[in-house]
Chain A
Amino acid sequence: DIQMTQSPSTLSASVGDRVTITCRASQSISRWLAWYQQKPGKAPELLIFDASSLERGVPSRFSGSGSGTEFTLTISSLQPDDFAVYYCQQYDTFSQGTFGQGTKVEIK
């Protein structure tokens, strides 16, 4: 089974900061990776798919990069609405979809 490890687990940042979250896969998953944002009491929302494609309606301050085993989600200028938990998900074979453990972005 492919394991996904996110770092850091918690990130403290201020409005306007550039924020980067890393997701590592236990084996190569090519570019088959998605990022989600989840706010308290809500369902996750898709931000990025195929490692770097921005989902419709998602602000352009969100971007994704990477391939193989290492991926990053970057928020270019953190906004008040961005404080949330972020999850990566691999779907390398399209038969299993393993999530990372999550990264909480909190106010510094």
Chain B
Amino acid sequence: QVQLQESGPGLVKPSETLSLTCTVSGGSISIYYWSWIRQSPGKGLEWIGYISYSGNTNYNPSLKSRVTISVDTSKNQFSLKLNSVTAADTAVYFCARSGYCNDGRCYGFPFDYWGQGTLVTVSS
């Protein structure tokens, strides 16, 4: 059973960088696609970006200038960095996997496994 677990600081100061890590267990991170999604308090879901098994990345255009997603296959982890944060970045951050493959090719959507989510508050 694949499991994902987010970790990182729960409080980040405005203008600083939000950094989170997702640890994958029960399966290799060297296949499939791996995403970050966030949900502001009481609001809907916003896809942030993904990284592929080969290291290719793709980001939500609205966040692209501030986001970096990377992968560490030796630790079976992938990470999110979001810089220059403001209060608007306060949200529950989820990591997720897309195990969607067709005709020998895998894709970044949809998400079949999710982490439990971690609340990150941006405040001084």
Q: Give chain A's interface residues, CB within 8 Å of chain B.
A: 1, 32, 34, 36, 38, 42-46, 49, 55, 87, 89, 91, 94-102
Given A49-B100, A99-B45, check contact A91 B110 (CB 8 Å). Answer: yes
Q: A residues within 8 A CB of B60?
A: 96
Given A1-B61, A43-B94, A96-B60, check contact A91 B44 (CB 8 Å). Answer: no
Tell me the bound Cα distance from A100 to B110 in angstroms: 14
Tell me the bound Cα distance from A89 to B111 in angstroms: 10
Is the pair A99, B117 in contact by a Cβ cutoff of 8 Å? Answer: no
Tell me the bound Cα distance from A42 to B109 in angstroms: 20
Q: Please provide the chain B residues from 25 to 57 with a CB less than 8 Å away from any CB of chain A in the complex.
A: 35, 44-47
Please name 20 pairs of A and B residues whose Cβ atoms are closer than 8 Å in the assembled complex, sorted by A: A1-B61, A34-B109, A43-B115, A44-B45, A44-B114, A46-B110, A46-B111, A49-B100, A49-B110, A87-B44, A89-B110, A91-B107, A91-B110, A96-B47, A96-B58, A96-B61, A97-B108, A98-B47, A99-B44, A99-B45
Chain B: how many interface residues by the 8 Å CB criterion? 21
Q: B residues within 8 A CB of A100?
A: 44
Tell me the bound Cα distance from A85 to B108 in angstroms: 23
Tell me the bound Cα distance from A101 to B109 in angstroms: 18
A94, closest chain B residue (CB): B107
Beyond the given pairs A96-B60, A97-B109, A99-B47, 13 more chain A to chain B contacts, judged by CB atoms under 8 angstroms and listed by A's residue number, are A34-B109, A43-B96, A43-B116, A44-B45, A49-B110, A91-B108, A91-B110, A94-B109, A96-B58, A97-B35, A97-B110, A99-B44, A102-B44
